[in-house]
Amino acid sequence: MNYDPNFDQARLDQLADQCLTNNTAKGKVIFLSDAEDNSLDVASWRFEDSDQMEVLLKSEFKVYLMGLLDNLMIYRAMHNQLNARQGVLYVDGDQLELKWISREDAEVLRVADVDD
């Protein structure tokens, strides 16, 4: 099977349609893996409004998102795609955008957001 560059966004769009129809939260989820199988190890949630973030963290969105990110990371690794172990997911209401970034960039984002 060949790598499908539209796979990530198609799955994210499905998740947004399923879970974020009334969402107004804005923020990001920084995620990475150190696992041999490339499965998700760490996810740092950073949102503008802590109450809205708590709603998302307690919802089915979090459960489904963590599973989806895990699958996407494994899928990218299977197809030898760059930066398969880390990325940042931007949430803007009912819109999701995923960027695969370097490990260094992921660590800088995690530290910078904690210090803010």
Mean pLDDT of 9-20: 98
Q: Which of 66, 71, 23 minimizes the C-alpha distance to 47?
A: 23
Q: Tell me, what's the pLDDT at 112?
A: 84
Q: How far apart are CA 86 and CA 115, in angstroms?
A: 20
Q: How far apart are CA 69 and CA 49, in angstroms?
A: 23
Sign of CA dihedral 17, 84, 42, 24: negative
Q: Which two tokens stand for residue 79?
A: 């197809």
pLDDT tier at 113 (50, 70, 90 boundaries)? low
Report the largest interatomic distance among the alpha carbons of the chain, rounded to a whole angstrom.
43
Q: Does the pLDDT at position 114 exceed 70?
A: no
b/e for 39-53, b at 16 or more Cβ within 10 A? ebeeebbbbeeeebb
Mean of per-residue pLDDT scores for the chain: 94
pLDDT tier at 8 (50, 70, 90 boundaries)? very high
Q: Tell me, what's the pLDDT at 26?
A: 98
Cβ–Cβ < 8 Å for 37, 74: yes
Mean pLDDT of 87-107: 97
pTM: predicted TM-score of the whole model, two decimal places: 0.93
